[in-house]
C-alpha cells in the first residue's frame, strides 16, 4: 500500500469511527477545507461567502457521501471538490438573489442590436449586422421557447445553476437544453456561411 492510499484509508476510517477520533478527524478536515476555500474563494469572489460558514454544509455532504468515495483520488482532493461546489453554489445564490428570471426573459422578441462604434470600420459593421441578424433569426426560428428563455437568461448573466434553481429544473437538464441550442445555432450560422472562426475577428 502506498503512503497516499494509507493516508486516504486513514481519513475514511477515522471519519467513519466514533468518539474523539472522529471528532479530531472532522476538526482536521474542517481546518484543511477552510484553508483551501479561504484562498480560492477570496481570490475570485471577495467576501461574498465566508469559508467557515459553507464548510459546515460541505462537511455534512462529505460525511453523507463517505461510502461513495471510490479512492480514485486523494481523500482531501475529493473532499475539497465537494466543498468547492458547495461554496460556489452559495456564492452564486447570494450574488444573483436579487435577479429575477422574469426581468431577463420577459421580452419575447430578443433584440441583438448593439450600438455602432464610430471607430469600427464600415465593412466590419456590415459583417456584424449580418451575423447578428442571422443569429436573431435563428434564435426565433430554430430554438424552442424553453431554449430561447435559457439563452436569454444566459445572456442576462445568470449561470446555468441559477437558471435551474429558478426554473425548478436541474443543472444537467439546463446544460443540455442550452448545449442543444448552441449546436442548432452553430449549425444554422454555418449553413448561412458564417463560420465560428470569423466570430472573434468580427466582434473583436
Partner 1 sequence: MSISKKQISNLLGLIASTENDATDCEGCFSHLAEFAELELAGREIPEAFQAIQRHLEQCPCCKDEFDVLIEGLKALPPEDE
- Could you tell me if 110 and 136 are in contact, meaning their C-beta atoms sit under 8 angstroms apart? yes
Our CB check for partner 1 shows the closer of 60 and 195 to be: 195
Would you list the DSSP string of 117-179?
A: PTTS-HHHHHHHHHHHHHHHHHHHHHS-HHHHHHHHHHHTT--HHHHHHHHT--HHHHHHHHH
- The CB-of-65 to partner 1 minimum distance in angstroms stands at 11
Separation of alpha carbons 93 and 57, rounded Å: 14
**Smallest separation (angstroms) from partner 1 to the CB of 185:** 5
Which chain residues interact with partner 1 by CB under 8 A? 3-4, 7, 32, 35-41, 43-44, 72-74, 76-78, 80-81, 83-85, 87-88, 104-105, 107, 110-115, 117, 131-132, 135, 151-152, 154-157, 159-161, 171-172, 175-176, 179, 182-183, 185-186, 189, 196-197, 199-200, 203
CA atoms of 136 and 111, how far apart (whole Å): 7
> Of the two residues 21 and 190, which places its CB atom closer to partner 1 in the complex?
190
Q: Which is closer to partner 1, CB of 19 or CB of 193?
A: 193
Amino acid at each position: 500500500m502506498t503512503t497516499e492510499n494509507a493516508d486516504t484509508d486513514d481519513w475514511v476510517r477515522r471519519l467513519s469511527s466514533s468518539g474523539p477520533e472522529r471528532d479530531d478527524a472532522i476538526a482536521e478536515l474542517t481546518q484543511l477545507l477552510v484553508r483551501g476555500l479561504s484562498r480560492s474563494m477570496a481570490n475570485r469572489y471577495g467576501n461574498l461567502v465566508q469559508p467557515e460558514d459553507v464548510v459546515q454544509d460541505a462537511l455534512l455532504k462529505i460525511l453523507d457521501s463517505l461510502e461513495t468515495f471510490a479512492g480514485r483520488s486523494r481523500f482531501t482532493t475529493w473532499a475539497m471538490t465537494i466543498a468547492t461546489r458547495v461554496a460556489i453554489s452559495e456564492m452564486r445564490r447570494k450574488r444573483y438573489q436579487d435577479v429575477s428570471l422574469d426581468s431577463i426573459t420577459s421580452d419575447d422578441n430578443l433584440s441583438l442590436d448593439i450600438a455602432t462604434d464610430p471607430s469600427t470600420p464600415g465593412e466590419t459593421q456590415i459583417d456584424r449586422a449580418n451575423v447578428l441578424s442571422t443569429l436573431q433569426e435563428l434564435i426565433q426560428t430554430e430554438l424552442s421557447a424553453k431554449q430561447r428563455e435559457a439563452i436569454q437568461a444566459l445572456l442576462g448573466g445568470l449561470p446555468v445553476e441559477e437558471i435551474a434553481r429558478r426554473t425548478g429544473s436541474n443543472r444537467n437538464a439546463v446544460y443540455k437544453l442550452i448545449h442543444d441550442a448552441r449546436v442548432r445555432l452553430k449549425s444554422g450560422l454555418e449553413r448561412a456561411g458564417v463560420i465560428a472562426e470569423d466570430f472573434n475577428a468580427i466582434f473583436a
